[in-house]
Amino acid sequence: MDSSHKRPYYAVIFTSVKKLDVQGYDEMAARMETLSRKQSGFLGQHSVRESSGLGITVSYWQSEEDIAAWKANVEHQIAQDRGKSDWYEGYEVRVCKVEREHSFGSLQCE
């Protein structure tokens, strides 16, 4: 995440619990990350998942319209459907407006 982006910009917080021993998840996650990076307005992403299954992915976007366009992407919609049927015990999605920020040192970030 390049911190030089001008506000307003937006964060999508995706908090999820993944089922254990699911098929095809890692390939889907990698494909969705590749696809999202090509979307208009994509600014960056951080993603962490523990072996327990709990994960948080935060992606950053220039506008709410960019977020809506990514949500409506056809391949992403197929992944969203499989997420509900096959991969996740549950998830929460929050679309947020970044009001202010500060940082220290550097992250290995994307």
Which of 2, 21, 26, 99 touches a copy of itself (CB under 8 A)? Answer: 99
User: Residue type at 101?
Assistant: E
CB 48 to a copy of itself: min, Å: 4
Tell me the site size for a copy of itself, rule CB under 8 A.
41
For position 48 contacting a copy of itself by CB under 8 A, the verdict is yes
On the CB side of 102, CA atoms within 13 Å amount to 1
In the window 70-89, what residues touch a copy of itself (CB under 8 A)? 83-84, 88-89
Do residues 86 and 21 touch, judged by C-beta distance below 8 A? no
* Contacts to a copy of itself by CB under 8 A: 1, 3, 10-11, 13, 15-17, 46, 48-50, 54-56, 58, 64, 83-84, 88-109
